[in-house]
């Protein structure tokens, strides 16, 4: 099972519609057996993708060509014995969420993740909170 973790930045001119990205991703990823987690504050994206090698590559190739974001940096690309994110999930802090509720939800999503993946998400979340 291949697992990729990347970070990217929303294109300055892009009108980011997170719900639209989520709908597209759910539809395609289900079809292709790709699972993962997408975190965004609508300025940065941090995403894990996992599944069969070719399926993950196909999704990543599409994502790389997407003009809604730029500066895509793959933080790791590795083989995992089993999925760490069994269900496709997307997390963002909605207008009605308080920071603690949001963080609690992220902690749940990350429960089965390896410490590196968890640490990366937690680092970004902490940076966001400190900003
Ligand atoms: C931050 C970000 C994450 C994305 N994640 C996924 C994804 O996990 N799966 C996916 O199929 N498309 C994802 N997309 C959308 C793709 O870039 C692309 O627009 C989409 O796959 C095209 O699908 P369609 O041909 O079915 O419309 C993402 C886009 C952005 C900006």
Torsional sign, CA 78, 83, 86, 91: negative
Picking from 69, 47, 45, 72, the residue whose alpha carbon sits closest to that of residue 128 is 45
| Residue 45 confidence (pLDDT) | 93
Tokens 């969420």 — which residue? 97
**How confident is the model at residue 93, as a pLDDT?**
67
- What pLDDT shows up at residue 59? 97
The CB of 66 under 6 Å from ligand 1? The reply is: yes
For residue 9, list its beta bridge partners. 44, 70
Question: Per-residue confidence of the chain (131 residues) as pLDDT tens digits?
Answer: 999 999 999 999 878 888 899 889 989 999 999 999 988 888 899 999 999 999 999 999 999 999 999 999 999 999 999 999 887 776 666 667 777 777 788 888 888 899 989 999 889 888 888 88
| Residue 42 pLDDT | 82
pLDDT of residue 66: 96
Residues paired with 3 in a beta bridge: 50, 78
- The pLDDT score that the predictor gives to residue 108 is 84
Q: Which two tokens stand for residue 49?
A: 């993708």
CATH 3.40.50.410 fits 2-130, yes or no: no
Q: Is 48 in the pocket of ligand 1 (CB under 6 A)?
A: no
pLDDT of 107 reads 83
CA of 10 to the centre of ligand 1 (A): 13
The protein residue with its alpha carbon nearest to ligand 1, atom 9, reads: 25
Structural tokens at position 118: 């968890």
Residue 101 parent element (H or E): helix 99-109
Question: How much is the pLDDT for 29?
Answer: 93
pLDDT given for residue 7 in this prediction: 97
CA-angle at 85, arms to 79 and 87, nearest 5° = 135
Distance CA 51, CA 1 (A): 5
């Amino acid at each position: 099972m291949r697992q990729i973790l990347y970070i990217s930045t929303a294109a300055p001119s892009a009108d980011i519609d997170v719900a639209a990205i989520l709908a597209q991703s759910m539809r395609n990823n289900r079809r292709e057996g790709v699972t993962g987690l997408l975190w965004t504050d609508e300025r940065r994206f941090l995403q894990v993708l996992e599944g069969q090698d070719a399926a993950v590559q196909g999704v990543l190739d599409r994502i790389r060509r997407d003009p809604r974001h730029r500066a895509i940096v793959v933080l790791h690309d590795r083989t995992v014995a089993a999925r760490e994110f069994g269900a496709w999930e997307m997390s963002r802090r909605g207008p009605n969420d308080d920071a603690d509720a949001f963080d609690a939800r992220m902690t749940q999503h990350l429960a089965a993740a390896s410490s590196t993946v968890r640490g990366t998400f937690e680092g970004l979340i902490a940076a966001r909170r400190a900003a």
